[in-house]
Structure formats: C-alpha cells, structure tokens
Amino acid sequence: MKKHLFAGAASAALLLAGQAQAADPTPAERAINYRQGVMAVIGWNFGPMGAMVKGDRPFDKAVFARNAERVALMAPMALEGFPAGSDTGTDKFPTRAKADAWLDQDKFKELMKKMEDETARLARVAKGGDEKAMKDQFGTTAKACKACHDDFREK
C-alpha cells in the first residue's frame, strides 16, 4: 500500500484519470488533477492557434474556429478546480498555483472572468472568419491568460 502511494505523481495522476482507484486521492488532490487537466486541454487547443497567428503553421480558419470554441467551453470549467484547501498541493500532486489565488480571491476571480470573456469573444470572432480579427482577439485572449498566470502561478 505504502509502495503504491510512493509510485509517484505521474502514476497517481494516471490512476485518477478515468476513475477512482484503490489509493484514493484526497479531494484537494482531485481538484489539482482536475484543474491541471482543464489547463492541459486548453493548452492543447490554444497552442496550434498561436502557431497559426505567429505564422509557424498555415492559417486554417476551420481548425482555428474549432479550437477557439473548445477553449471557450473549457474556460468556465477552470475556477471550480481551485476549492479551499487545494492551495498547497502534495508530493503526489504538486501545484504551481500561488497562495494569492486564495488570499486575493476577488482579484483571482476577476482575472478568471476576464479570461472567460475573452475566450468567448475569440470563439465568436473565429466563427465570423475575419483572419485579422481572429489574430487580434487571439492576442487579447493570450494576454488575459498571461495576466492571471503572472499573478497567480509560479514560474
């Protein structure tokens, strides 16, 4: 059992992904795993859009719009991944979230809301299909992500 627990963060995360297992993680660990999952899905979809904006890959409006829609769907799911008590992380589930996210919740929620709004706008703009507008709104959205990371996430 002990051995199981020491199998490392990756295995623990793997055990978590999908369904509960023998060595059940705590509610805080589950929240950490969840919010990192939300961010991973956002990053997976946001990355290719950034590559298109930078010209590192061909601009594909359909893919851009699909990814923008997915990011907009994911964005409102992030906040619930930061419940009270999930601030410090554990050996198995470390977190880069700063204590400030809980100490200054108003600011944290404000920046989260801003990110939600900008991703929703990005999805709308992308549906419109104006490449210049899509690129501009991508930049605005990326700034909203960064603003929160700067204040509330360890480097």
Q: Which stretch binds a copy of itself (CB under 8 A): 41-49, 54-62, 110-118, 126-134?
A: 41-49
Place of tokens 């992380």: 89
CA distances from 54 to 94, 97, 102 (A): 32, 28, 35
Whose Cβ is closer to a copy of itself: residue 5's or residue 17's? Answer: 17
The Cα 36–Cα 13 span in angstroms is 10
Among 1, 2, 3, 19, interactor with a copy of itself by CB under 8 A: 19
Segment (H or E) for 57: none
Question: Contact region for a copy of itself (CB under 8 A) — 73-81, 98-106, 111-119, 124-132?
Answer: 73-81
Q: Does 13 bind a copy of itself (CB under 8 A)?
A: yes
Give me 29's structure tokens.
Answer: 């660990």
Site for a copy of itself, residues 91 to 130, rule: CB under 8 A: 92-96
